[in-house]
Amino acid sequence: MVKREVALEEAYRLLTPGMVVLIASQRDGRNNVMTASWQMPVSKEPPLVAVAIAKKHLTAEYIQATGAFTVNVPGFSLLPKVHFCGTISGRKVKDKLEEAGLTPVPGKKVPVPLIKECLAGLECRVWNTYDGGDHYIFVGEVVRAEASEAFDGFWRLKDNQDEYPVHHLGGPHYYLPGPSVSVLPKDGGFEVTPLKP
Amino acid sequence: MVKREVALEEAYRLLTPGMVVLIASQRDGRNNVMTASWQMPVSKEPPLVAVAIAKKHLTAEYIQATGAFTVNVPGFSLLPKVHFCGTISGRKVKDKLEEAGLTPVPGKKVPVPLIKECLAGLECRVWNTYDGGDHYIFVGEVVRAEASEAFDGFWRLKDNQDEYPVHHLGGPHYYLPGPSVSVLPKDGGFEVTPLKP
């Protein structure tokens, strides 16, 4: 396969990140929310997830203040609101959740809201904070998680496209999950077949 | 939206991770490779990416020994080989790349191979290593990157499904990227339209 050199400043776009999430945070009773897709699971035991947040973002300040955040999974139907939350700073609006038309619901284990309209939410306590260049890597211990029926151990993605998570391609471009497949043993090798519902 | 509690040990599956990648590493002249999807970009300046690797994996040992790794992006057509690399330990085979039918190509900036058949490759020097519970978080500085024509600043995903990256749903289940959309300003709000080629 012929390959070209990629400029280092655009290398990050080679790694299509995890699903787009909304990170909610809180400080002195004031809620904030931002869109992020630089997130990943990190550990099963203890259950840890990591999210990279630009050091200059208000969300970084809020997470450091409270030691907690929530990770919320929006479905495709929320995409315009999600994009809004990713393109305006919480410093410029009084209440970004309200501006976006999203509803905060108090977390049960952390003093940070979950977002009612999202497909899933993870309540996280900061387990550690690491330097990540122009971002902080916040590693959160998941202390409570909830999900809609679309999740049954993993995202089944079978019925309603409005409930699909989305991935960020870069800029204003996103993609939805497409065909799901299973890779199953066959004849000493593996066979790729459509995922059975 | 009605939501149910999710057990903490399966909470990580709520966050569909980034695209599936092959992490290649090297120690004392011996190559290794593993499948991973717990990866994310972390920083633009400097260009950093993070990957979570189970502490017990041979790859963790190899990365610590060399201080370098490569992140390779396989296309859908490689999925059986990718799944193989994710389900067998490098401790159990003499040369996992060879067993998988993948071709190592020497890195140009790091003493670790790239994988010829992949759509893209990032050569990384370990920038920092962090504790991540049962995984290490290896943060790599991208010192060189290359990609096939399928990448033109971001993954266009327009022509050949064999060249699509894949995401991991859990177990033997994966999904391909589906419809791509753009979220563009309209009438003071946003409109979601199909991504134009």
Closest-CA residue of chain A to B133: A43
Domains observed in chain A: 8-194 (2.30.110.10)
Note whether B17 and A51 are within 8 A (CB): no
Give the gap in angstroms from C-alpha A191 to the nearest C-alpha of chain B.
7
Q: Residues with Cβ < 8 Å from B176, sequence gap 6 or more?
A: A177, A178, A179, A180, A181, B76, B161, B164, B166, B167
Query: Nearest CA to A168 among A27, A70, A37, A24?
Result: A37
- For chain A, counts of helices (H) and of strands (E): 3, 13
DSSP 3-state assignment of B67? coil
Closest-CA residue of chain B to A196: B173
Mutation for testing the A interface, residue in B3, B23, B84, B164 having most A CBs under 10 Å: B3
Give the gap in angstroms from C-alpha A28 to the nearest C-alpha of chain B.
28
Task: Give B-chain residues touching A10 at CB under 8 angstroms.
Answer: 153
Task: Give A-chain residues touching B7 at CB under 8 angstroms.
Answer: 145
Query: Nearest CA to B41 among B132, B122, B96?
Result: B122
Is pLDDT larger for residue B150 or for residue B67? B67
List the pLDDT tens digit at each of the 197 positions of chain A: 889 999 999 999 999 888 999 999 999 999 999 999 999 999 999 999 999 999 999 999 999 999 999 999 999 999 999 999 998 888 888 889 999 999 999 999 999 999 999 999 999 999 999 999 999 999 999 999 999 988 888 887 776 888 889 999 888 999 999 888 999 999 988 999 998 76
> What ipTM was reported for this prediction?
0.95
Task: Give B-chain residues touching A132 at CB under 8 angstroms.
Answer: 42-43, 48, 50, 139
Q: Where are the alpha helices (DSSP H) in chain A?
A: 58-66, 79-87, 96-100
Q: Residues with Cβ < 8 Å from A188, sequence gap 6 or more?
A: none
Give the gap in angstroms from C-alpha A108 to the nearest C-alpha of chain B.
11
Give the gap in angstroms from C-alpha A167 to the nearest C-alpha of chain B.
8
Q: Classify burial at A160, counting beta carbons within 10 Å of its beta carbon; exposed 0-12, middle 13-18, buried 19 or more.
A: exposed
Task: Quote the tokens at residue A53.
Answer: 């947040």
Closest-CA residue of chain B to A54: B43
Q: Where are the alpha helices (DSSP H) in chain B?
A: 58-66, 79-87, 96-100
Q: How far apart are CA A181 and CA B178, in angstroms?
A: 13
CB atoms within 10 A of CB B95: 13
- How many Cβ pairs within 8 Å bridge chains A and B? 322
CB atoms within 10 A of CB B120: 29
- For residue B111, name the pLDDT band (cuts at 50, 70, 90): very high
Beta bridge partners of A141: A48, A125
